[in-house]
Amino acid sequence: MLGVLSLLEALTRTGVLPASDFPPPSLTLVTLGQQLATAGFWNAVGQTLAGWASGLALAAVLAASLGMVIGASDLAYRAIRVPLEFLRPIPSVALIPLAILLYGTGFTSKLFLVVFASFWPLFVQVLYGMRDIDPLAMDTARSFGLRRLERVRHVILPSTLPYLATGLRISSAVALILAVTAELVIGSPGLGKEIDVARVGGDGRLMYALIVATGVLGWSINAVFSRVERRLLHWHPSQRADGGAR
Partner 1 sequence: MRALRRRRLLAGLTLEAGVPLALLALWWTWSTRAGLVFFPPLPDILRSFRETWLAAPASKEVLPSLGRLAVGYATAVLAGVGLGTLLGCSEAARRSADPIVQFLRGIPPPALLPFGILVFGIGDPMKVLMIALVCLWPVLLNTIDGVGGVDPTLRETSRVYGLPLGTRLAYVILPAASPQIVAGARTGLSLAIIMMVISEMVASTNGIGYSILEAQQTFRIPDMWAGILVLGVLGYLLNGLFVLLERRLLRWHRGARAREGV
Whether the Cβ atoms of residue 72 and residue 148 lie closer than 8 Å to each other: no
Return the HEC string of the chain: CHHHHHHHHHHHHCCCCCCCCCCCHHHHHHHHHHHHCCHHHHHHHHHHHHHHHHHHHHHHHHHHHHHHHHHCCHHHHHHHHHHHHHHCCCCHHHHHHHHHHHHCCCHHHHHHHHHHHHHHHHHHHHHHHHHCCCHHHHHHHHHCCCCHHHHHHHHHHHHHHHHHHHHHHHHHHHHHHHHHHHHHHHCCCCHHHHHHHHHHCCCHHHHHHHHHHHHHHHHHHHHHHHHHHHHHCCCCHHHHCCCCCC
What contacts 232, CB < 8 A, 6 or more positions away? 161, 165
- CB closer to partner 1 out of 40 and 83: 83
Of 31-39, 62-70, 92-100, 139-147, the window that binds partner 1 (rule: CB under 8 A) is 92-100
Of 27-35, 65-73, 149-157, 164-172, the window that binds partner 1 (rule: CB under 8 A) is 164-172
Q: Does 106 bind partner 1 (CB under 8 A)?
A: no
Of 65-73, 107-115, 120-128, 230-238, the window that binds partner 1 (rule: CB under 8 A) is 120-128
Closest CA to 46 of 194, 172, 165: 194
- For residues 182 and 185, give the distance between their C-alpha atoms in angstroms, rounded to a whole number: 5
Q: Does 68 bind partner 1 (CB under 8 A)?
A: no
Q: Does 170 bind partner 1 (CB under 8 A)?
A: yes
- CB closer to partner 1 out of 47 and 181: 181
Q: Does 45 bind partner 1 (CB under 8 A)?
A: no
Least separation, in Å, of the C-beta of 229 and partner 1? 14
- CB closer to partner 1 out of 155 and 174: 174
Q: Does 93 bind partner 1 (CB under 8 A)?
A: yes
Q: Does 207 bind partner 1 (CB under 8 A)?
A: yes
- CB closer to partner 1 out of 93 and 157: 93
Choose which of 24, 55, 162, 192 interacts with partner 1 (CB under 8 A): 192
Residue type, 207: M
Q: Does 216 bind partner 1 (CB under 8 A)?
A: yes
Of 1-9, 30-38, 64-72, 137-145, the window that binds partner 1 (rule: CB under 8 A) is 1-9
Residue ranges binding partner 1 (CB under 8 A): 1, 3-4, 21-22, 75, 78-83, 85-98, 100-102, 117, 121, 124-125, 166-167, 170, 173-174, 176-177, 179-181, 184-185, 191-192, 195-196, 198-199, 204, 207-208, 210-211, 214-222, 242-246
